[in-house]
Structure 1
Amino acid sequence: MFLGRAFQYPDAQVALHGAWTLKKLARDLGLDLPDVPEISLEELQTEYTRLFINSPEGAAAPPYASIYRHRAGFLYQEGHDEALSYYREMGFEPVEGPEPGDHIGFELAFVGLLLEEGRLDLLERFLGGHLLKWYPELAARLLAARPHPFYAALAQVTDACLNRLLEEVVHEEKRVP
């Protein structure tokens, strides 16, 4: 899923096709966003670092559920454990890596996997019981940091996409006899 990949440390593919993809997604979702200009890989990586990793004031919008779900804002806490329990329910055992399992990129990739597998029951619980409980604060912090239009659009498109999924795909499935 593009959104999950776009929230990871940028690579050449995201830099090359990201602005176009965000524009198309925004249009498909009916969002009226400012233009998303092309951005070089180096600029994208610099902005990613400022927003999600480090800046003189600290990361503007840490991309981890545990930061938002735990009162003290520590990694590897409540949000992390929640995410891992959903992954395990799907039969995945996360491996240790450089990023905690509650990174927004992983969680969005998980949403895509749930859609592909038709696991709308688990998708509904994951969105309503976990991801949409913390993502709005991440998006608000991201937008407050005055990001490059790429990341502003990414925050808004992701928000619209997640809410549309919960509203239309998951709830529509319940209405079908």
Structure 2
Amino acid sequence: MAGSAAFAESHSMANPMVGGAEMFASKNIVENAVNSADHTTLVAAVKAAGLVDTLASEGPFTVFAPTNAAFDALPEGTVETLLKPENKDTLVKVLTAHVVAGKWTSADIVAQTKKSKDGFYNFNAVSGDALSAKTTPSGQVFVFDESGNAWKITTADVMQSNGVIHVINGVLLPK
């Protein structure tokens, strides 16, 4: 019992670190994301898409946040092309494919995958695109996009005042 009390105390006192920055549950998604050195591409894309006010609003939202390395893994020139003003609609579509209405913790997602006959929980992103989640036997959670790409949640349950962020190691691509 003492061990679990110490665990709870150590986790309740410290805010999670993402991209070398402390994430505060009292701040909104945008206020936290701008401080993560691992999410500068995502923040630039959110600004270019005009989604700052939306993601700073009351929500709640669940955001699957790709790292800079995830964006860097896209074919060369993809990010630069998406950030051009004439491609704003496509950029908005890609970014909103990473956002789900409501506050979905990893425990919520895992519970839904376990209820399913095939082990997949199917849900829709704000963009209208279909996403799926699957939990591996070791407890890792993967999110699948419409193209069948699967990306691992590498940091789960980064609580925000207006939702939750799950860091993922790839970019979810709508069809």
Q: What is the TM-score of this pair, normalised by structure 1?
A: 0.28
Structure with higher strand content: 2
Q: What is the TM-score of this pair, normalised by structure 2?
A: 0.28
Structure with higher helix content: 1
